[in-house]
Amino acid sequence: MLKDFLMLAARSITHRKMRSWLTVIGVFIGITAVVALISIGLGLDQTIKQQVAGIFGVDTFVLVPKGSFGPQNHAGANTEEYALDLQYLKSIPGVKVAAAVRQRTGFVQGPTKGDGPSTQGFLPVMGLSPELMNEFESFTGKIEVQPGGRLFTEADEDVAILGADTSERLGAKVGDTILVAGDDKKELNLAVVGIMQPDDEGKSSDTNRGFSAGMNPGQGKDTIYVPYDTMNLLWGAGNDVLVTLVRTQPGDDVDEVADRAEKALRARGSEVSSITYSDISDAIGTMTSTVSAFLAGIAGIALLVGGVGVMNTMFTSVLERTKEIGVMKAVGARNSHILTIFLIESGLMGLVGGMVGTLLGLGLSLVASKFIGRFFGVHMAIVASPALILITLAGSFSLGAFAGLWPAWRASKLPVVDALRYE
Amino acid sequence: MGYHAEDGANNVLVHSSGEIGMPLLNLNGVTKDYQLGKTVVRALRGLDLHIDKGEIVAIMGPSGSGKSTLMHILGCVDTPTAGEASIEGTQIASLNERQLVALRGRKIGFVFQTFNLMQTLSAQQNVELPMIFQGIKKKERARRAKELLAKVGLADRVDHRPNELSGGERQRVAVARALANDPEILLADEPTGNLDSESGGTILELLKKLREEDGKTVIIVTHDPDATAIADRTIRLRDGRVVEEVLDA
């Protein structure tokens, strides 16, 4: 019987082609907006998370001064300095590799050239763990020195790598010796082992993913890089650590280790916060879902308008077919039959709107992802899961049926006598 | 076709054929009031009417005489304000909406002045419609619809839409539809009112044939003198009452 009702409803829709199409347009605009926004929202969320996951991997977390991470803080604001003993950090169970970055400004003297005076001045000095240069490429980007030089090794002491500009200003080449002075008249003669490859502006976005400020040492052209331990010799235990990258032992839960490390360091007086992938992912999730909810609200208004359109059409249809309803009832249709026929009719219009809307919405999000991909240099995934499509189709049928509920109910309650008399 | 009728609710009626039974339709002192704006319209004012199985009855009367109201009560689409109306002994007033629907679905076939076919459906689908509501299987419906269309002389028009048919053909489709669930009673409201006299004549012949061949009871509300010619009885209404019964023997 339902199949026959479907046929009756479909006939009546196709009989009023123009009006049915206009109604369907009202629905599919709303559905298009919803599908596109959800799909783009999910895609954005997924893409950002993939990017972050690509940086963090499954086993890495970051330690930063307390208060420098979180939605309420801008980068760098309210940052408290913290001191860090890398040896202690490495002794915490579950920690496999730990690498830190700290930065100071120090007095630097270039190599002596013949009898002329050497160049000297105050320059930023950055202490890098050797591991940072080769273990955490996803964070730092590829750190390269110019041919003839090399990066730090773990055995290194009293060495330095110069930023390209610094090298020029100090007149120092690989093999030269420079002097760096720290606190308390501590000073060291450091052998230059490499000159940083100057960044090619154009391709920097490729290597410099995620974190930029302070995280890509290769960018500081006017900086002097020294091994982390050397830095400690010059300035004592660091209370100026910018960031620490930690890799956990395989099999250990990164969140647990991060928690353990954070607590242990705090117990020793280091005001430090740990950031794991799941922290960032949660923060991104909060952000994208807020945006999504806002967009969905707008799309919801469009849907509401579409629903009112269906309702209007159905009321018109009921009025127009009053006599027809009377005849159907006279030949034996029950109220529930009339109700069902009209509900199917409005549901079908919703469904057709849903199908067109889903296709257009997915098309729109494809265009959007191409657009985003071109402007931001990322490949944005489109999320078009069968579940999303099914829910949308079921939802659009329900929307139609729901909008048709009142008109259909009115139709079913029409007294036969009045309906038959209606002209 | 001779027959004897007596006034009274439970009189036993004797057909010429000798069949004994209670009247198929029995109206006793039926009144029907309508609220029309602020005034109450008294459409029927104590109407008595008894119709036997197999009769052809014509109901005539000026507009406003209560013809349509009587038709609706006979067709179980309306219930009386007061008085008794029964079909095969069942009081209409005692039935709820659902039971009324079931009763008219099985017992009564309607033919309207303006045909009232579904424009979106073919002739066959129009005839199938009442069977859909009775939950009859598609195959059986199609078979019966074709059979009925053949019976009304439209075997070659099954797939035509109403707008592809002439007025007379449309009314014949409507008659076929009225017969879909094999009802005992055919109620025709001005069946020839929108037809030329030739097509109208065909319809009346068809109705007569249905009584002759299938023993249908036919009630025709009409202005058409030709309709009274095929009737066993003509009932004239005025002001909601029966004013004249003519036996056309």
Mark which of A246, A270, A294 sits at the end of a domain: A270
Q: Do A332 and B68 touch (CB under 8 A)?
A: no
A185 confidence band (pLDDT: 50, 70, 90): confident
Q: pLDDT, tens digit, for every residue of A406-417?
A: 999 999 998 888
Q: Do A11 and B130 touch (CB under 8 A)?
A: no
Q: Which residues of B touch A331 (CB under 8 A)?
A: 105, 109-110, 129-130, 133, 177-178, 180
A276 in a structural domain = no
Using CB atoms, which residue from A15, A323, A328 is nearest to B120? Answer: A15
- For the full predicted model, state whether its pTM sits above 0.80: no
A37 plus A124 within the same structural domain? no
Q: Do A331 and B105 touch (CB under 8 A)?
A: yes
B39 in a structural domain = no
Q: Do B78 and A1 touch (CB under 8 A)?
A: no
CA A140 to CA A383: how far, in whole Å? 30
The pLDDT of residue A67 is 64
A94 plus A227 within the same structural domain? yes
Identify the weakest region by mean pLDDT among A195-199, A407-411, B169-173: A195-199
Using CB atoms, which residue from A1, A12, A323 is nearest to B135? Answer: A1
The pLDDT of residue A206 is 36
A131 in a structural domain = yes
Between A133 and B79, the more confident residue is: B79
Q: Which residues of A touch B130 (CB under 8 A)?
A: 331-332
B46 in a structural domain = no
B101 touches chain A (CB under 8 A): yes
A49 plus A95 within the same structural domain? no
- At B106, which CATH number? 3.40.50.300
Chain A residue with minimum CA distance to B99: A334
Chain-wide mean pLDDT for chain A? 83
Tell me which residue of B84, B34, B67 sits closest to B243, measured CA to CA: B67
Domain residues for the domain of B192 are 53-79+95-247
A356 plus A232 within the same structural domain? no
Q: What's the sign of the alpha-carbon dihedral A306, A312, A316, A321?
A: positive
Q: pLDDT, tens digit, for every residue of A214-245?
A: 455 555 678 888 998 888 888 887 677 878 88
The pLDDT of residue B2 is 39
B119 touches chain A (CB under 8 A): yes
Among A271-280, B17-26, B78-87, top mean pLDDT goes to B78-87
Q: Which residues of B touch A333 (CB under 8 A)?
A: 101, 133
Q: What's the whole-number mean pLDDT along residues B106-134?
A: 93
What's the 3-state SS for chain B? CCECCCCCCCCCEEECCCCEECCCEEEEEEEEEEEECCEEEEEEEEEEEEECCCCEEEEECCCCCCHHHHHHHHCCCCCCCEEEEEECCEEHHHCCHHHHHHHHHHHEEEECCCCCCCCCCCHHHHHHHHHHHCCCCHHHHHHHHHHHHHHCCCHHHCCCCHHHCCHHHHHHHHHHHHCCCCCCEEEEECCCCCCCHHHHHHHHHHHHHHHHHHCCEEEEECCCHHHHHHCCEEEEEECCEEEEEEECC
Mark which of A270, A303, A334 sits at the end of a domain: A270
pLDDT at A102 over 90: no
B225 in a structural domain = yes
Identify the weakest region by mean pLDDT among A14-18, A155-159, A353-357: A155-159
B69 in a structural domain = yes
Q: Which residue is associated with the tokens 């154009």?
A: A202
The pLDDT of residue A80 is 58
Which are the contacts of B241, defined by CB distance < 8 A and separation ≥ 6? B44, B45, B46, B47, B66
B108 in a structural domain = yes
Using CB atoms, which residue from A324, A333, A417 is nearest to B72? Answer: A417
Q: pLDDT, tens digit, for every residue of B183-226?
A: 999 999 999 999 999 999 999 999 999 999 999 999 999 988 88
Domain residues for the domain of A105 are 81-270
B77 touches chain A (CB under 8 A): yes
A68 confidence band (pLDDT: 50, 70, 90): low
Q: How is residue A60 written in tokens?
A: 């890495």
- At A135, which CATH number? 2.40.40.20
Q: Which residues of A touch B133 (CB under 8 A)?
A: 328, 331-334, 337
How close A389 gets to chain B, by Cα (Å)?
A: 32
Q: How many domains is chain B partitioned into structurally?
A: 1
Interface probe for B, chosen from A2, A327, A348 (most Cβ of B below 10 Å), is: A327
A200 confidence band (pLDDT: 50, 70, 90): low
A375 plus A295 within the same structural domain? yes
Give the helix ranges, DSSP H, for A16-123: 17-56, 86-91
Q: Do A331 and B98 touch (CB under 8 A)?
A: no
Asked whether the beta carbons of B220 and B57 are under 8 A apart, the reply is yes
A144 in a structural domain = yes
B204 in a structural domain = yes
A337 plus A315 within the same structural domain? yes
Residues of A contacting chain B (CB within 8 angstroms): 1, 4-5, 8, 11-12, 14-15, 323-324, 327-335, 337, 416-417, 420-421
B107 touches chain A (CB under 8 A): no
pLDDT at A111 over 90: no
Reduced to 3 states (helix: H, G, I; strand: E, B; else coil), residue A64 is: strand
Mark which of A270, A303, A337 sits at the end of a domain: A270
Q: What's the complex ipTM?
A: 0.85
A105 plus A251 within the same structural domain? yes
Identify the weakest region by mean pLDDT among A70-79, A235-244, B5-14, B79-88: B5-14
A256 plus A175 within the same structural domain? yes
The pLDDT of residue A43 is 83
Q: How many domains is chain A partitioned into structurally?
A: 2
The pLDDT of residue A360 is 94
Cβ atoms within 10 Å of B89's Cβ, excluding its own: 11
B22 in a structural domain = no
pLDDT at B4 over 50: no
How close B29 gets to chain A, by Cα (Å)?
A: 21
**Backbone angles phi and psi of A116, in degrees to 5:** -65, 160
The pLDDT of residue B170 is 95
A263 plus A289 within the same structural domain? no
Q: Do A334 and B129 touch (CB under 8 A)?
A: no
Interface probe for A, chosen from B77, B117, B170, B173 (most Cβ of A below 10 Å), is: B77
B8 confidence band (pLDDT: 50, 70, 90): very low
A112 plus A208 within the same structural domain? yes
A65 in a structural domain = no
Q: Which residues of B touch A334 (CB under 8 A)?
A: 98, 101, 133
B146 in a structural domain = yes
A182 plus A324 within the same structural domain? no
